[in-house]
Structure 1
Amino acid sequence: MTTDYGGIPNEVLQDMENKFSADPKNRLAQNVCYTANPKQILKNQSSLNNQVHVFSCKVPTEGKPMSNQKASGRCWIFACLNAMRCSVMPSLQCDELEFSQNYLFFWDKLERCNYNLDSYIECARRGETFEGRLVSHLLTSPSEDGGQWDMLVNLVEKYGVIPKVCFKDAQSAAESRILCGIINNKMREFCKRLQTMVFEKASDEEIQKEKSSMLQQIYTTLSICLGTPPKTITWEYYDKSKKYQKIGPITPLEFYTTKIKPIFNMQDKLCIVNDPRAKNPYNKLYTVEYLNNMTGGRPVLYVNQPIGVLKELTMKSIADGEAVWFGCDVGKYNSIKPDGILDLKALDYNLVFGFSALGLDKEGRLNYGESLMTHAMLITAFHKENGESTKWRIENSWGDSDGDKGYLIMSDDWFSEFVYEVVIDKKFLTEEILAVTKQTPVVLPAWDPMGALAKL
């Protein structure tokens, strides 16, 4: 019986079924994957079993306890504070130290809403409407959890940092989806109201008054859900010698400027990216339109370099004792739970499906929407053999159940394919790279993949 329906012809469908059934391996794979998570079947056990946490060069101090961002997109904040504690724990004589992620989370949410409200007003004055790609992009998730390095500089340099015991995680920080939904709802409403006011020729004074009222609603919501950040703190702890220590009363900004900044200066660190797209040459400075969290703050800037430069700079930093914040596409070719492995050999797609998941190169993955930065972590060690890097030790922020009590192993080829940016102190950079920072940045569109936020 034939039909007039379109689509794939019946004889083609039958041919595909015949070819599938003719291969016994396909039937075996079907039997297994039908009742199990395909990713578990894809695992290459021989590759996973060869990974050991022994490295030729490691920072002298790794942070304790292992942090856990839980059900939130705060990895970029966790990775920054984890890098900070690695550097300052010796001077503070701490065996364990964790800074308050909830504290920076609060201020990022508030400042980002203020920045977005200003952006809505500016877009309206440019004649942009909700029907255009730009405003549509800005409204996708106005209260995004994720972020970029320069956003962290803005927050820490303005608000400082505090130990976690002085401002612990709220439930709405550890499980942020509901809070983000509430703020997203109001921000889209606010965008409509502000843009309408601009289009109807309201005065600047009227618009700013309305914006102030909106920001107060956001502040109230954040304070209810996350708590009100302390203006001063007193931190009491036992040092390595079990002696009582006390710092404070002191403001969070004073704590940062006196105890942290002399050792770990946020402003001295630059984001070096690997964007191999032909349209974005190396040795150029880039930024992304409407990518920030603070009006009038430090812009988000990238120095584009070949991937080998990112590796060399990372090794130089670690060899000098400083761990490296980095952004990557964590969801590709991994066996994190429970193995703690990021490796192109970790999953064998060819064995199960008969094809590779690496059909696109890094440039192609960026151009065709297959990959972008999704997660930020910390590199604390590397291993070299015959003068070449072979693997890297990674401090994650997903608790201590995976890998080596929360530490992962990243293979060198995985670094090449899925690492997009590293943050390096200026003292490790060459004069040629520093000269790039003096350029007028090339402005990429707001939706460019290099504007992706670390949020997993």
Structure 2
Amino acid sequence: MMVTSGVLSPEVLRELCSKFYADSRNVLAQNVCTKVDPLDACLSRKTLENTQHAFTHKVESEGKPITNQKNSGRCWIFATLNVIRIPFMKNHNLDEFEFSQTYLFFWDKIERCNYFLQNIVKTAERGESIEGRLVSFLLNDPVCDGGQWDMIVNLINRYGLVPKTCFPESFSSESSGRMNGLLKSKLRDYAKVLRDLVAHGASTEKIEAQIVEQMTVIFRIVGICLGIPSETITWDYYDKTKTFNSIGPITPVEFYTKYVKPYYNVDDKVCLVTDPRPSNPYGKAYTVDCLGNVVGGRPTLYNNQPPDLLMKLCAESIKQNEAVWFGCDVSKRFASKQGIQDLNAHDFKLMFGTDVQVVLNKADRLLYGQSTMTHAMTFTAVSTDSDGKVKNFRVENSWGDDHGQKGYNILTAEWFLEFVFEAVVDQKFVPADVLAVFNQDPIVLPAWDPMGNLAR
């Protein structure tokens, strides 16, 4: 009887099993990993002993309390507001403070849904098939929680900021899955309506009127789930001296412009990325097709630079007392409970007889789907050696104070080079030739390119 090539025959399976039990280390590893989390079992004791949360340079003060995005994908919003609140708290003499993450989340949902509907019309008008890769990609996740730096700038410039007490959390901001499910269902319904209108030659006016009707329903769903921000706020608070203060009534845009922007102007910050794929040379500007959140807002731009430059600028920013927003592939070589982002955090080879996660180089990990941006956080401190070489960073996360050292991670320079993909620093720290890249006409990457993953 002929055996089909590639079939795992009983003989092959018996050989695999025999090889497994021939090595007693496999049996020991099996006994351990069937009882505990395999990652915990691989955790390196020596790395734990050598990890200390002490840094040569640290921002003057860190934000309090530690924030918690809970069961949502709002890390990019939390990381941004964690950076902004540091100078705000200092200049307003506050012990603790949070900006409202839900406020920006609300407006991002509204704007993101409109952005999706407009993209559906644009792709239909340029003849993209409903079964083609682009439209299928857009329909797969019409409204996610993630986002990029340029997208948060769009929201802050258009809608301003408010203290968290003026627009607190809701069930659906802390656990966004149910609300997102409702929105995705309606957006797919509306996508068919809009594509049919385009196919039948409907006028621009008729299509726009239809989108306004659709957005009426979208606004209703989001408003019911998150609440609707007021046009003006009044913020009552005590400062460190226990003195009562009151600001308002004031619009959120006025609040940002008058009380936040003098200390942290989002338009002064630039986002640099590091994408080492051979197809995407350093020193070039890139964007991603159909990626954004605000129609008429600034596009999502990537200024591609080597990772050592990003690390140098992050360190310089911290030395100048400015925290740094950054995006990374958080799940790799990360001891979450202990808050250690270190290539030596786990010894997979000792446990499984093979290495994982860093076998391919950074470029190949992007190409083969092994690595991508998944999470945004904040650098607040850096350690350097006697020659000024970066050793590690202190990271403020947004997963609550029961992770890491009361909410903070430690991230090594080696980990940075492998798994950090972007960072936001003030343009005053950036060399002129690097800033000039932003003036280029960006190369357009496809909508599904991994460099857009943090916004999905």
TM over 0.5: yes
| Cα distance in 2, alignment partners of residues 305 and 4 from structure 1 | 52
What displacement does 1:15 show?
A: 2.2
| Cα distance in 1, alignment partners of residues 34 and 435 from structure 2 | 54
Give the match's secondary structure for 1:286. Answer: strand
| Cα distance in 2, alignment partners of residues 87 and 176 from structure 1 | 30
What displacement does 1:5 show?
A: 6.9
Match of 1:26? 26
The 8 Å contact of residues 75 and 454 in structure 1, kept in 2 or not, is answered as: no
2:456 is the alignment partner of 1:445: no
- Map residues 366-377 of structure 1 onto 2, 5 A cutoff: 366-377=366-377
Residue 147 of structure 2 aligns with an amino acid whose one-letter code is G
Match of 1:354? 353
What displacement does 1:18 show?
A: 1.8
Question: Alpha-carbon deviations, 1:161-204, whole Å to 9, x = none?
Answer: 00000000011100000000100111111111100110111122
Match of 1:44? 44
Match of 1:116? 116
Match of 1:175? 175
Match of 2:13? 13
Match of 1:412? 413
Residue 167 of structure 2 aligns with an amino acid whose one-letter code is F
The 8 Å contact of residues 282 and 306 in structure 2, kept in 1 or not, is answered as: yes
- Map residues 273-422 of structure 1 onto 2, 5 A cutoff: 273-337=273-337, 339-357=338-356, 358-386=358-386, 387-422=388-423
Question: Alpha-carbon deviations, 1:117-154, whole Å to 9, x = none?
Answer: 11000100011122000001111111100000000000
What displacement does 1:12 show?
A: 2.6
| Cα distance in 2, alignment partners of residues 274 and 434 from structure 1 | 15
The 8 Å contact of residues 275 and 305 in structure 1, kept in 2 or not, is answered as: yes
| Cα distance in 2, alignment partners of residues 289 and 270 from structure 1 | 20
The 8 Å contact of residues 373 and 454 in structure 1, kept in 2 or not, is answered as: no
Query: Alignment identity in percent?
Result: 51
Match of 1:164? 164
| Cα distance in 2, alignment partners of residues 92 and 252 from structure 1 | 17
| Cα distance in 2, alignment partners of residues 87 and 279 from structure 1 | 39
What displacement does 1:10 show?
A: 3.2
Residue 412 of structure 1 aligns with an amino acid whose one-letter code is A
Question: Alpha-carbon deviations, 1:391-414, whole Å to 9, x = none?
Answer: 110000000001211011111111
| Cα distance in 2, alignment partners of residues 332 and 139 from structure 1 | 29
What displacement does 1:9 show?
A: 3.3
2:427 is the alignment partner of 1:426: yes
- Give me the TM-score of the superposition, normalised by structure 2: 0.97
| Cα distance in 2, alignment partners of residues 398 and 222 from structure 1 | 24
| Cα distance in 1, alignment partners of residues 402 and 85 from structure 2 | 21
Give the match's secondary structure for 1:212. Answer: helix
The 8 Å contact of residues 73 and 454 in structure 1, kept in 2 or not, is answered as: no
| Cα distance in 2, alignment partners of residues 422 and 4 from structure 1 | 54
Match of 2:87? 87
The 8 Å contact of residues 144 and 455 in structure 2, kept in 1 or not, is answered as: no
2:82 is the alignment partner of 1:74: no
| Cα distance in 2, alignment partners of residues 93 and 4 from structure 1 | 77
The 8 Å contact of residues 376 and 454 in structure 1, kept in 2 or not, is answered as: no
The 8 Å contact of residues 327 and 454 in structure 1, kept in 2 or not, is answered as: no
Match of 2:97? 97
What displacement does 1:3 show?
A: 8.9
The 8 Å contact of residues 394 and 408 in structure 2, kept in 1 or not, is answered as: yes
- Residues 419 and 454 of structure 1: CA distance in aligned 2, closer, same or farther (over 3 Å): farther
Runs of 4+ in 1 over 6 A off after TM superposition: none
What displacement does 1:36 show?
A: 2.1
Give the match's secondary structure for 1:119. Answer: helix
Where does the alignment leave 5 or more consecutive residues of structure 1 unmatched?
Answer: none
Give the match's secondary structure for 1:205. Answer: helix
The 8 Å contact of residues 115 and 292 in structure 1, kept in 2 or not, is answered as: yes
